[in-house]
Amino acid sequence: MCFCHNLIKRSSFTERKEDEKLLSVQSPLCQLSGVSIMSVPAEMYSYGAQYWIIAPTMIVIVMIINYIFVPVFYNNQITNCYQYLEDRFSPAVKKFVTFTYVLNIYLILPIFIFIPSLAFAQVTGTNIHLINGIVCCVCIFYTMLGGIKAVVWTDVVQGVIMFASCFLVVAVGVIKIGGFGEVFTRAAAGDRLNVFDMTFDATTRQTFWTASIGNVFLWTGYLGLNQSCVQRMVAVPSIRHARSALWIFCAGFIIITSLNCFTGIVIFAKYFDCDPIKVNLVQKADKLLPFYVQDVVGNLKGMPGVFISCVFSAGLSTMSANLNSLAGIIYEDYIRPFKLFKHTDASANLTMKVLILFSGLYCIVMGLVVEQFGHILQMVVTIASVTQGAVMGIFCLGMLWPWANKHGALWGSAASVIGMSWIIAGAQFAIKNGELSYPPKPTSVEGCAEYGFNVTQSVLVQSMNDVSDNGFSIYKMSFVWYSTVGTFLVFLVGIPVSYLTGSQDLSKMHAKLISPVVHRWLPKEVTKSELVLKTSAVNPDDVHIKEWVFTPAEEQKRKVLRESNEHVL
């Protein structure tokens, strides 16, 4: 089996029960990065606790993934989630969406790996680009040599380090401040605990509705339709195991996100009367956490190192998982079909390693650009949203709207990418021109004199001037809504185009390609021909679980459909 197939082969993970447990533990870690560790506390410090709403919202997100996406991916034995788009629509749709995925990862991956370098440079004063290069080289090395098993094992080890170090740093901070009561008293006085801001204003940076509804679309697509996570969903023996792994992810996500949010509250409580940003001890909010660590636990031997290991663990975990998925997709979809050379196991192995190498080197170079970014969390969400809405929309269109055809899918996803690129570009120009801004909540420097700072009264004034109110503009929309708008654009264009070009004939539809929640609208002869009782070869106790499998006749229909799709859009 060639290297790229080893990335995703189910049997390689289900040979032993220990591997199943390992995948379940690793699932929460594949999407947690240095961004969450560094930028979430900065978000809480600057804008308050509204972001925490994403933690309980993850319960809804996991339910959506478990009952809409997982049955389709698992029962079709899809190891490459984008293969679904070829089976459901056509190769052209698959290639378009995989292109958007590759583009998105190349845009966002340098940010993920730059974060650990940022933390290390803040704590030690070492050149940030030197550290960035070393980190990338280490990650490239073990990802090239070990494949996905190395990624899984290192993710588990790194995840344990990540949680333990974050917990220790926060615990020491709470003790030094004076306990939980004092932390929350200071946070409340600084208006940092207003979680339930029910203002329904699409232009407000974070509200209850933005953090809940907006993040449902963002995270459902990011988690449920992310190749690196789908690999793990289908690598377990049954749907029940896949769903259990996602619920484990949910619990881990809630715990770690709550810890990250509380870290931001603790940082604010520590500096509630002396803002390090205003007195130029820190240049921007994303550097607050390493500054806090050095300030609070720097006198404790080993503690700054524990924190650095935490951020490095998160960054390496995210980069290795994405490098693996990225190399697999580029090879399978953009190199192998052209038959540029003989595709043996050895040549595939070498090609994949070269792809990982060049992708890692690209991240090193792009670190020079990432250094110029402002708020990291906002930038990550904004970049991801260029394509995230299109990906979310096209999968939902395929699984939830049986009448959609390949023309509707292609035009809908293209309209979403173009539309969101236009909106996001307009918003970035508005930010650059000073027409759009998100002022942080007020902070104080009244107590800075105690630390030896000579602060003038002019520094005490917090600029709260917002965007000039010239009525609603699409460019003023909060960046958290971008994925939601992108998803709806796919439906708004895809459904009419499907009807105008001839809707999908439901009698020729394969029920396995449609989510079970809409099977009631499919012809009964289609669903009955594909529903059989499947006994789990791994666990005989799973005999009662019904799974959708293709009968020999349906497999032949599917093969003919694929061959015909090779020559059409």
Structure tokens at 525: 């002869």
* Residue 375 CB contacts under 8 Å (≥ 6 apart), including other chains: 39, 42, 43, 46, 284, 285, 286
Query: Residues 144-176: pLDDT tens digits?
Result: 775 555 555 555 666 676 677 778 888 988 998
pLDDT at 460 over 50: no
Residue 438, judged by CB atoms within 10 A of its CB (0-12, 13-18, 19+), counts as middle
Residue in 473, 403, 488 with CA at minimum distance from that of residue 433: 473
357 in Cβ contact with 448 (< 8 Å): no
Q: What backbone phi and psi angles, to 5 degrees, belong to 207?
A: -135, 180
140 in Cβ contact with 233 (< 8 Å): no
Tell me the average pLDDT across 415-421: 94
Which percentage of the chain shows pLDDT scores above 70?
Answer: 77
Query: Residues 47-103: pLDDT tens digits?
Result: 888 889 999 999 999 999 999 998 898 888 777 788 899 889 988 999 899 888 888
User: Which amino acid is it at 493?
Assistant: V
Q: What DSSP state is assigned to residue 537?
A: S
Tell me the average pLDDT across 311-323: 75
- Residue 463: CB atoms within 10 Å: 9
Query: Residues 128-140: pLDDT tens digits?
Result: 778 888 878 887 8
pLDDT band at 249 (very low <50, low <70, confident <90, very high): confident
317 in Cβ contact with 36 (< 8 Å): no
User: Which amino acid is it at 81?
Assistant: C
The C-alpha atoms of residue 410 and residue 47 are separated, in whole angstroms, by 39
Residue ranges and CATH numbers for the domains of the chain are 3-275+286-565 (1.20.1730.10)
427 in Cβ contact with 436 (< 8 Å): yes
261 in Cβ contact with 206 (< 8 Å): no
The C-alpha atoms of residue 367 and residue 373 are separated, in whole angstroms, by 10
pLDDT band at 37 (very low <50, low <70, confident <90, very high): confident
The SS3 of residue 31 is coil
